[in-house]
Chain A
Amino acid sequence: MSVPGAPTAKEKKYDRQLRLWGAGGQEALETAHILLINATAAGSETLKNLVLPGIGRFTIIDHAVVTDEDLGTNFFLDDSSIGLSRAQKTCELLCELNPEVQGHFINDTIENILRSNPEKLKDFTTVVATGDIPTATLLSLDAILYPLGIPLFVVKCVGFTMSCRLALSEHPIVETHPASTVDLRLFNPFPELSTLVDEKAASMDDKEKMTTHEHDHLPYVLILLQALNEWKSTHGNQPPSSYPQKNEFKSLLRSKMWNADEENFEEAIAAVLPHFNPPSIPSETRAIFQDEKCANLTKESTKFWIIARAIKEFSEKNGGLLPLPGALPDMKAESKDYIRLQNIYKTKARADLAVVFGIVRGLLTGLGRDGGEVEESEVETFCKHAGYVKLIRGRSLNEEYEKSPRAQVISNDLSDSTSLIHYYLGLRAYEAFISDENNTQRIAPGAEDSTVDADTEKLNKHVTELLDKLSITHSPELLEGTEKAIGEIVRAGGGELHNIASLTGGVAAQEIIKIITRQYIPMDNTVLFDGISSRTFVYKL
């Protein structure tokens, strides 16, 4: 059976995900290389969710040997793994999931790698740090990766609590997957559209010139534009703007119906509120246009900034309009009329694209770069999403911890005892506990029943120290929630619960996929989950 267009074996296997991120996203995944530091349950689950959709390669750095405790939380180990390298064993069992993925392991500590061969970190697309890693090590990793633009995930998973911190410098997203990119240009129709309105809809009130069938098959876009012409002629050439005016316009449309059941007119009436918007550039897009990187292109500027600049120039020359995305929703119409209308929008979109593409080439040659460096398809994707692009500027771990902590974000939520900020503070205290220079074995708080009380006290002290350092006023009442969070964290004794580890692995893998495919919008920058109340919250810290 060889039908043109029939799916390949790979397309069949990945069918359910290709429907979300397409061939382009898949290709990005297949060329990525993920580093996992420590094969904890959460770390292994993260890799599982990346190996399954076909990430290119992964490497595990871990110095631990497999213990019985590991078998109680990590699915990618079995009885025969006990006493052997945890990096190697998890790597082997993860590789079984997908023969197309290459797994590597390094039986060493991340501290040793940072000392002996920090260059190695440049090999990776994304780094995921899990388990008990001291603050100093995390900050060293961040100091190397952040300037290189390599995303670092710091994942913590203790008992019912998890946090996932993403340190990502600059991340523009073009394919944000908005619900719709439709722009009908109702308030500023281009000439080809106006011509079609005149030809098809000018006599829509005239029963002599139009049959009932023609009338109830008029595409609603043409109905709206024709009615708008009429409205504007009696309203100083202005379209309806206020809510009462829009309602009045709907009544006008209703008065033009020849029968009570003309679906196309119903569609037109329903389209008034969603589509009657004066043309404007959305704030996210405007912020990108106003960005310093858009204003001052250099030889090093990325394609994103070059295309953004070209679109900015395009819109300046076109009365503030973005290039037309060209999409047309389905509507009641004769096939040929619909296709004709669709082609009018598409042709206009292509014409806009040609202009933008021309500007892009000009910008490139002006910078002394190769004019063919940017493909037309990349410009096309950008043009289609020009009103929906998004730029994430994250913050480094060093900024959060040392250079410019965001004390306000923490203090804002402190008085709410149900806020998840208390788990953030509890986990920071946990990190301080295992980073203590006297705790060389990195023994977790609550590791033994006998230490629970003393460790709880230590964690509470770490929190007050942190708050003092950040000049955040606190009181026992304000820290009620934090005290409870610490109670839960110490209860777990540094252990992962498999369910929470698995959920963490789902969240981390999802965010990694969004970043690698450059599709959809990643969180910025810390997500917390509390498994007791089943809630998440995202803070920008």
Chain B
Amino acid sequence: MATTTVLTTESPDRWKYLNNILTRRGPYSDETFEPGDEPKRFLADLKILVIGAGGLGCEILKNLALSGFRDIHVIDMDTIDISNLNRQFLFREADVGKSKAEVAAAFVMKRVRGVKITPFNCAIQDKDDEYYKQFKIVVCGLDSVEARRWINATLVNLVGEETLIPLIDGGTEGFKGQARVILPTISCCYECTLDMLTPRVAVPLCTLASIPRQPAHCIEWASVIQWPKEKGDLKIDMDDPEHVTWLYTKALARAKEFNIPGVTYAMTQGVIKNIIPAIASTNAIVAASCCNEALKIATTASPYLDNYMMYTGDESVYTFTFQHDKKEDCPVCGNLPQALTVDPESKLEQLMEKLQERPETTLKKPSLRTSSKSLYLQAPEQLEERTRPNLEKKLKELMEEGDELSISDPGMPFNLRFIISFSS
């Protein structure tokens, strides 16, 4: 095989230190670990997938290449932006605008001889089950909750007699981050822990419209109210400087009218793009931890993380390593529906609004059904039209206590199931 040929042309000294770990048993090594050539060969032949070639992804690709992995795929649909360069170290100013996956793969292959990295400049949803089945491990360095839920559910759905693909997931925000190992259906999955995300608190529309107090209120007013009013159907492009400048100017004028200090261009960008601070050091820590787990899982040279490490670096250096429990009523890996209490007097429309406030039900285009009827369907068009009047109806007209409510969304490869109870 090509990969093995490449390996043999390398100096045997190159992987001396990695080989020390693979050819010697450690005091904590699992009984099944057989030191010697086998883990080395296994590592070289194993196919591993990296999702995301951004801050974490660049680190992950470098780390896997220097951990002896030889056959790596990487998927990322993004292109390189100037604000990536403070941490995404495989990119240079001349690369701005190019595909992250392609530039990152080419760089690591050039630097580390013998590694093959296959890039895909596309969305993860563009690949099918057959594609994902070929991998032994998936390492995920994404900043999107939606994409993580998708890959998590996909890997859980793939579990079968011969398939169980561990998902190693990393995430960062400023000085904080986490690394975790998910063994689909065996240990707690991404969906099981969604309630750890902080629910987003939306500013009431009336505050934006009539009583702004904070600079962020003025910025949101500009993007949520004023843009559609003045620009009609034109969509805001957060990366278009003209659009950002327009919003900034409007927000600034509104702030002046209400004597609100503090609207800046950077804050405008931060609010409308929901920018999360990101630095090289935290990415390095979290990505390294993820790849350390990948190496341990691939070779069984040492026990792997079971199953969650939280990291905080703003005050001293702190980690909390623990076993997060699997949720019996997890909509992805569990088999029980969750409980949902609703006000029977409220309208379906209000229920849909309420669902948006919970992290596990924040969906782009949710469709709602009970076991007996469709309550609201987003597509196709004729069904949307037919179910639209239901939005105005009270819940007690549409469902009964004990009914199972099922929510689907084109972005999610699974349904959320709830057993309805009425609040008194």
Beta-carbon contacts under 8 Å, A188-236 to B: 217
Q: Are B211 and A335 in contact (CB under 8 A)?
A: yes
- Residues on A with beta carbons closer than 8 Å to the beta carbon of B86: 13-17, 52-54
Judged by a CB distance under 8 angstroms, whether B197 is at the interface is: no
Q: Residues of B contacting A78 with CB < 8 Å?
A: 110-111, 113
Q: Which listed segment binds B: A267-275, A283-291, A348-356, A494-502?
A: A494-502
Nearest A residue to B17 via CB reads: A495
In the bound complex, CA of A361 to CA of B264 (Å):
33
**Is A297 an interface position by the 8 A CB rule?**
no
Contacts of B97 in A (CB 8 A): none
B14 touching A502, Cβ below 8 Å: no
- B317 contacts A502, CB within 8 Å? no
Once bound together, how far apart are the Cα atoms of A9 and B93, in whole Å? 11
Which B residues lie within 8 Å of A522 (CB)?
Answer: 316
A534 engages B266 (CB within 8 Å): no
Would A534 and B175 count as touching, CB distance under 8 A?
A: no
Using Cβ atoms and an 8 Å threshold, which residues of chain B touch A48?
89, 280, 284
Question: B71: shortest Cβ distance to chain A, in Å?
Answer: 18
Does B57 make an interface contact (CB < 8 A)? no
Contacts of B276 in A (CB 8 A): 16
Contact B277 A20 (CB under 8 A): yes
Contacts of B280 in A (CB 8 A): 48-49, 52-53, 506, 509
Q: A492-B17, A506-B284, A535-B319 are in contact. Are A72 and B302 (CB under 8 A)?
A: no
Within 8 A of B (CB), among A500-534: 500, 502-503, 505-507, 509-511, 513, 520-524, 527, 531-534
Q: B21-29, B37-45, B377-385, B402-410: which one contacts chain A?
A: B21-29
Contact in complex: B214, A330 (CB < 8 Å): yes
Q: Is the CB of B211 within 8 A of A339?
A: no
Q: Which A-chain residue is minimally distant from B265 (CB atoms)?
A: A5
B152 within 8 A of A: no
What's the nearest-Cβ distance from chain B to residue A5, in Å? 4
Interface residues of B in 290-307 (CB under 8 A from A): 291-293, 295-296, 302-303, 305
Q: Residue B27 contacts which of A338, A484, A492, A531 (CB distance < 8 angstroms)?
A: A484
Q: Does A374 touch B at the CB level, under 8 Å?
A: no
**B169 at the A interface (CB under 8 A):** no
Q: A491-B26, A534-B321 are in contact. Are A510 and B282 (CB under 8 A)?
A: yes
CA of A16 to CA of B275, assembled, Å = 8
Query: Which of B14, B59, B284, B316 has the largest count of A CB atoms less than 10 A from its CB?
Result: B284
- Choose the segment among B240-248, B351-359, B362-370, B387-395 that binds chain A (4+ C-beta atoms closer than 8 Å): B240-248
Minimum Cβ distance to chain B for residue A536 (Å): 4
Q: Does A69 contact B (CB under 8 A)?
A: yes
Interface-side segment among B62-70, B328-336, B338-346: B62-70
Cα separation A222 to B113 with both chains bound (whole Å): 68
B127 interfacial contact with A, CB 8 Å: no
Within 8 A of A (CB), among B63-87: 63, 66-67, 82-83, 85-87
A115 at the interface (CB under 8 A from B): no
The A17-69 residues at the B interface (CB cut-off 8 A) are 17-20, 45, 48-49, 52-54, 67-69
Q: Which residue of B lies closest to A98 (CB)?
A: B85
B281 close to chain A: CB less than 8 A:
yes
Alpha-carbon distance A259/B260, docked complex (angstroms):
30
The answer to whether A534 touches B179, judged by C-beta atoms less than 8 angstroms apart, is yes
- Please measure, in the bound complex, the distance between the C-alpha atom of A96 and the C-alpha atom of B282, giving whole angstroms: 21
Which residue of the partner chain, among B14, B59, B248, B252, contacts A69 with CB atoms under 8 Å? B14
Report whether A52 and B87 are in contact in the complex, using a CB–CB cutoff of 8 Å: yes
Q: Does A7 contact B (CB under 8 A)?
A: yes
Say yes or no: B92 contacts A534, CB within 8 Å: no
The answer to whether B212 has its CB under 8 Å from any CB of chain A is: yes
Given A20-B277, A69-B17, A496-B17, is A510 in contact with B245 using a C-beta cutoff of 8 Å? no
Residues of B contacting A538 with CB < 8 Å?
A: 316-318
Contact between chains at A73 and B242 (CB < 8 Å): no
- Among A15, A513, A534, contact of B289 (Cβ-Cβ < 8 Å): A534
Q: B174 contacts the other chain (Cβ, under 8 Å)? A: yes
B411 close to A (CB within 8 Å): no
CA distance A505 to B287 in the complex (A): 12
Interface residue? B313 (CB, 8 A):
yes
Q: Is A246 an interface residue (CB 8 A)?
A: no
Question: A18-B266, A72-B17, A334-B211 given as contacts; is B248 within 8 A of A5 (CB)?
Answer: yes
How many residue pairs between the two chains, A and B, have CB atoms under 8 Å in the bound complex?
Answer: 259
In the complex, residue of chain B having the shortest beta-carbon distance to the beta carbon of A501: B288
Question: Does B270 make an interface contact (CB < 8 A)?
Answer: yes
Complex-state Cα separation, A535 to B179, whole angstroms: 12
B213 touching A15, Cβ below 8 Å: no
Residue B145 lies at the interface, judged by CB distance under 8 Å to chain A? no
* A97 on the B face (CB < 8 A): yes
Contact with B21, one of A9, A452, A491, A520 (Cβ below 8 angstroms) = A491
CA–CA, A154 and B343, complex, Å: 61
Contacts of A335 in B (CB 8 A): 211-213, 258-260
Tell whether, in the assembled complex, residue A532 and residue B303 are in contact, meaning their CB atoms are under 8 Å apart: yes
Contacts A96-B92, A499-B295, A502-B59; A1 near B265 (Cβ below 8 A): no
B314 within 8 A of A: yes
Q: Considering only CB atoms, which chain A residue lies closest to B285 in the complex?
A: A506
CB-based nearest B residue for A41: B66
Interface residues of B in 25-53 (CB under 8 A from A): 25-28
CB distance from A304 to the nearest CB of B (A): 19
Which of these, B24, B252, B270, B287, contacts A452 with CB under 8 Å? B24
| Nearest CB on A from B293, distance (A) | 7
Determine the chain B residues whose CB is within 8 A of the CB of A5 once the complex forms: 248, 252, 264-265
B112 within 8 A of A: yes
Within 8 A of B (CB), among A130-176: 159-160, 176
Contact among B87, B287, B291, B315 with A520 in the assembled complex (CB-CB below 8 Å): B315
**In the bound complex, do residue A499 and residue B317 qualify as a contact, i.e. CB atoms below 8 Å apart?**
no
A446 within 8 A of B: yes
Residues of B within 8 Å of A79, CB to CB, are 113
Is B253 engaged at the interface, CB distance under 8 Å to the other chain?
no
Known: A492-B17, A493-B17. A339 touches B260 (CB 8 A): yes
Q: Is B134 an interface residue (CB 8 A)?
A: no
B279 within 8 A of A: yes
Evaluate contact between A521 and B314: CB separation under 8 angstroms.
yes
Interface residues of B in 218-270 (CB under 8 A from A): 241-242, 245, 248-249, 252, 258-260, 264-266, 269-270
| CB-defined contacts of B207 to chain A, threshold 8 Å | 332
B279 pairs with A16, CB closer than 8 A:
yes
* B193 contacts partner chain A, Cβ-Cβ < 8 Å: no
Would you give 24 A-B contacts (Cβ < 8 Å), ordered by A?
Answer: A3-B265, A13-B83, A13-B86, A16-B86, A52-B89, A68-B16, A333-B213, A335-B258, A335-B259, A483-B27, A484-B28, A491-B26, A495-B16, A497-B17, A502-B62, A503-B292, A509-B280, A510-B317, A521-B315, A524-B316, A531-B302, A532-B302, A533-B305, A534-B292
Give 4 nearest A-B pairs by CB, closest first: A495-B17, A506-B284, A503-B288, A506-B285
**Further pairs besides A79-B113, A510-B313: 15, Cβ < 8 Å:** A5-B265, A19-B270, A67-B13, A68-B16, A69-B17, A78-B111, A160-B21, A335-B212, A495-B17, A497-B21, A502-B63, A509-B284, A510-B279, A531-B292, A536-B317
